[in-house]
Amino acid sequence: MIRAFVAAALSALVCGVTFGQAVTGSPPAFEVASVKVNTSGERPSVDARGDRLTMNNMPLRATGALAYQVPNDRVTGPGWLDNGFDIVARFGPDTTRETLWPMLQNLLAERFKLAIHHEQTPVPVYALVVAKNGPKLQEASAGGTSKSTCSMQGTLFTCRNQKMTMEDLAKNFPRWVSRDWFDLPIVDQTGLRGAYDFSLTWTLTDRRDDTRAGVGEASDPSGVSLFDALQDQLGLKLEQRKAPLDRIVVDHAERTPVEN
């Protein structure tokens, strides 16, 4: 359940905030922040509007995953990390995507005395790679912002993407299908470092109905599986491999955050 909250959090933060230019100097920090133990028991939520980040009853594990940009199941530590906390933080107009996550990391270190270390563990993954005949991608022009817009017509699902990197595409796959459709993490191993404009259209199915690339083939013979669409339309494919993934190990954290 927490994984869904993290995905929602990422979408809200990326889509709901206008970011400025990067700034240099002291470590990035929120202008002001309130951190409290949640007492409402309400459903966890994340919202970012204007200059404010608001988290209600967010498990510390999920907040840490967001701060370090990993799935929540790659944050390991004591069970109480699933306790919920309320965070309201204000950031300045010069905040960028690159500084927002370190700001959240610094807030967790300041208020929870959070200390972590990274571990690289080889695990089974779906690797996003270039297909045999090469990529079919249009390099994005300079300027503009990264954007992904998805729509559905019947069972056909279309995502139109602007200035998207292959790393971002790998991250977006789990957000474009039903929860737990992919049973393994997805990593970019295309070697493509540019940003691209492209559309991808496929037939939305339940995971159990799709066996392509070790996951499935659409039960509807007239449908277009995600894996066929990926290869035919973009010249890419997903294949099962083993790859080292970053894991966040919590060495220390305080159950009660420092007073505001």
In a domain, 80, yes or no: yes
| Interval 33-41 mean pLDDT | 95
Q: For residue 109, count other CB atoms closer than 10 A to its CB.
A: 15
Task: Encode pLDDT of 88-109 as tens digits.
Answer: 999 998 887 778 889 999 999 9
In whole angstroms, what is the distance from residue 227 CA to residue 200 CA?
A: 11
* 69 and 160 fall within a common domain: no
In a domain, 249, yes or no: no
* 95 and 12 fall within a common domain: yes
In whole angstroms, what is the distance from residue 68 CA to residue 60 CA?
A: 12
- Which of 141-150, 152-161, 234-243, 251-260 has the lowest average pLDDT? 141-150
Domain boundary among 84, 112, 140: 112
* 64 and 139 fall within a common domain: no
* 105 and 128 fall within a common domain: no
Domain boundary among 70, 87, 112: 112
In a domain, 250, yes or no: no
Task: Encode pLDDT of 4-29 as tens digits.
Answer: 344 444 443 443 344 443 444 567 89
In a domain, 259, yes or no: no
In a domain, 69, yes or no: yes
**φ and ψ at residue 199, rounded to 5 degrees:** -120, 150
* 131 and 22 fall within a common domain: no
In whole angstroms, what is the distance from residue 32 CA to residue 55 CA?
A: 14
pLDDT at position 28 is 86
In whole angstroms, what is the distance from residue 38 CA to residue 87 CA?
A: 9
Q: For residue 15, count other CB atoms closer than 10 A to its CB.
A: 10
Smallest CA-to-CA distance from 159 within 129, 188, 201 is with 201
Domain boundary among 81, 112, 143: 112
Assess contact for 177 and 203: CB atoms under 8 A.
Answer: no
Q: Regarding predicted confidence, which is higher, 155 or 19?
A: 155
Hey, which residues does 123 pair with through a beta bridge?
243
Assess contact for 161 and 137: CB atoms under 8 A.
Answer: no
| Interval 51-64 mean pLDDT | 95
* 99 and 136 fall within a common domain: no
| Strands of 156-165's sheet in order across | 138-139, 195-203, 156-165, 147-153
* 81 and 103 fall within a common domain: yes
In whole angstroms, what is the distance from residue 37 CA to residue 181 CA?
A: 33
In whole angstroms, what is the distance from residue 164 CA to residue 236 CA?
A: 14
Domain span at residue 168?
A: 124-244
In a domain, 257, yes or no: no
Tokens linked to 191: 């070697």
The winner for highest mean pLDDT among 67-71, 125-129, 210-214 is 125-129
In a domain, 146, yes or no: yes
Number of domains in the chain: 2
pLDDT at position 25 is 55
State the number of CA atoms in the 13 A half-sphere of 259 facing the CB.
0
Q: What percent of the chain clears pLDDT 90, i.e. is strictly above it?
A: 61
| DSSP assignment letter at 207 | G
**If pLDDT is split at 50, 70 and 90, which confidence band does 223 have?**
confident
